[in-house]
Amino acid sequence: MTSTLDRPDLAVPAPKRPATRERLTWRQRLGRFDVKASPYAYISPFFVLFGLTGLFPLVYTLVVSVHEWELLQGQGEFVGLENFANVLQDRFFWNSIFNTLSIFLLSTVPQIAMALVIAAVLDQALKARTFWRMSVLLPYVVTPVAVALIFSSMFNEADGLANNLVGLLGIEPIQWKHDTLASHIAIATMVNWRWTGYNALILLAAMQAVPRDLHESAAIDGAGTARRFFSITIPSIRPTLIFVIITATIGGLQIFAEPKLFDVSSAGGIGGYDRQFQTTVLYLWEMAFFRQNFGEAAAIAWLLFLLIVGIGLINFFISKRIATAEGRVIKKRTAKRLATKEVGK
């Protein structure tokens, strides 16, 4: 994402100073003040508000995390890194990390794969194009809470729609709310349902930016649809693809509403009786408001932050390498094709 910063900067050149250091008129001085001060005036509302609502909590979380701090009793003794040590030794914390990553993988991989296929299908001269695009996007208008209500009902173990359909295939009812893997699949299904179409549209936008010449020349070369999809479309939209993966990661690591509402009746809505689908954010909620331990909850918040930054960095470096390598390949290919086919610009 930061790569965009390197773009040529087209900022207004600084106003030239008057050649002679004469006394400026009142109006000129006001004008200079205007030029100098305005940028700060424009950015200051953002920074003031952001400092209060974004930065201050960040620092304060750190303060809370090194103290004994209870919901009702408030600030207690300074305990150093004890809260962090406790959390890191807590099997429920690691359980929540495992669940988060598992749900994240189960939602991201099929989601991106399906989004790619749908985008490729939409990237054609379709009849009723807008209708199909809208049908793909429809789930996006259903909020995660509503999605959770709908799907937790569908995934009811004894007689929900999912098990009824599974039953038609002659398969035993699946323990969607008790079994670890099944519950992860169910929650991933909610995420996938809501986001696949949305991501498909983003990928579609990227696909439409791929030069048509590439497809045409490949088609003339005799490359089939599937081959062109893998050798032209996918490489060309790779930056967008990686972006979609990164955003899905950030979103996926913060899942809360779906596991919170998937099975409210057991154990106070903390993600299953055995925490089998408790995500880290849900664990953070449990620690803070169910177990009322703000100190450890703050430590969880920081560890989650580090995890997201860590995965973000991994993503970034991988994507940067792939993007540059791919960029070179594409450029070469394009140049070659354009040269051989003598297709003018």
Region 21-40 residues binding other proteins, contact defined as CB under 8 A: 31, 34-36, 38-40
Query: Should residue 144 be labelled a site residue for other proteins when binding is judged by CB under 8 A?
Result: yes
Which one of 13, 170, 222, 344 is in contact with other proteins (CB under 8 A)? 13
Distance CA 136, CA 193 (A): 10
Task: Please spell the DSSP secondary structure of 302-313, one letter per residue.
Answer: HHHHHHHHHHHH
CB of 188 to other proteins, least distance (A): 14
Residue 283 has phi, psi (to 5 degrees) of -65, -40
Burial class, 194, CB count within 10 angstroms (exposed 0-12 / middle 13-18 / buried 19+): buried
In this complex, which beta carbon is closest to other proteins, that of residue 174 or of residue 297?
297
Query: Should residue 180 be labelled a site residue for other proteins when binding is judged by CB under 8 A?
Result: no
Please give the residues from 188 up to 207 whose contact with other proteins meets the rule CB under 8 A: 193, 195, 197-198, 201-202, 204-207
Which one of 85, 105, 138, 220 is in contact with other proteins (CB under 8 A)? 138
* Per-residue tokens: 331: 């450029």
Which one of 32, 291, 320, 333 is in contact with other proteins (CB under 8 A)? 291
Write the single-letter amino acid at 11. Answer: A
Task: Please spell the DSSP secondary structure of 38-62, one letter per residue.
Answer: HHHHHHHHHHHHHIIIIIHHHHHHH
Query: Should residue 110 be labelled a site residue for other proteins when binding is judged by CB under 8 A?
Result: no
Residue 76 has phi, psi (to 5 degrees) of -120, -145
- Pick the closest to residue 2 from 341, 215, 312 (CA basis): 312
Query: Should residue 82 be labelled a site residue for other proteins when binding is judged by CB under 8 A?
Result: no
Which one of 101, 117, 322, 338 is in contact with other proteins (CB under 8 A)? 117
Task: Please spell the DSSP secondary structure of 155-175, one letter per residue.
Answer: T-TTT-HHHHHHHHTTPPPP-
CB of 271 to other proteins, least distance (A): 12
Distance CA 210, CA 228 (A): 12
Q: What is the CA radius of gyration of the chain?
A: 27
x/- mask, other proteins, residues 243-272, rule CB under 8 A, reads: xx-xxx-xx-xx-xx--xx-xxxxxxxx--
Query: Should residue 7 be labelled a site residue for other proteins when binding is judged by CB under 8 A?
Result: yes
* Binding range to other proteins, per CB under 8 A, among 18-26, 103-111, 294-302, 331-339: 294-302
Task: Please spell the DSSP secondary structure of 224-289, one letter per residue.
Answer: -HHHHIIIIIHHHTHHHHHHHHHHHHHHHTT--HHHHHHTTTSTTTSSSTT-TT--HHHHHHIIII
* Binding range to other proteins, per CB under 8 A, among 16-24, 104-112, 153-161, 334-342: 153-161
Query: Should residue 169 be labelled a site residue for other proteins when binding is judged by CB under 8 A?
Result: no
Q: Which residue has the tokens 């913060």?
A: 254
* Binding range to other proteins, per CB under 8 A, among 6-14, 76-84, 98-106, 332-340: 6-14
How many residues line the site for other proteins (CB under 8 A)? 149
Query: Should residue 337 be labelled a site residue for other proteins when binding is judged by CB under 8 A?
Result: no
In this complex, which beta carbon is closest to other proteins, that of residue 126 or of residue 325?
126
Distance CA 250, CA 100 (A): 11
In this complex, which beta carbon is closest to other proteins, that of residue 102 or of residue 196?
196
- Pick the closest to residue 188 from 274, 262, 117 (CA basis): 262
Query: Should residue 209 be labelled a site residue for other proteins when binding is judged by CB under 8 A?
Result: yes
Query: Should residue 228 be labelled a site residue for other proteins when binding is judged by CB under 8 A?
Result: yes
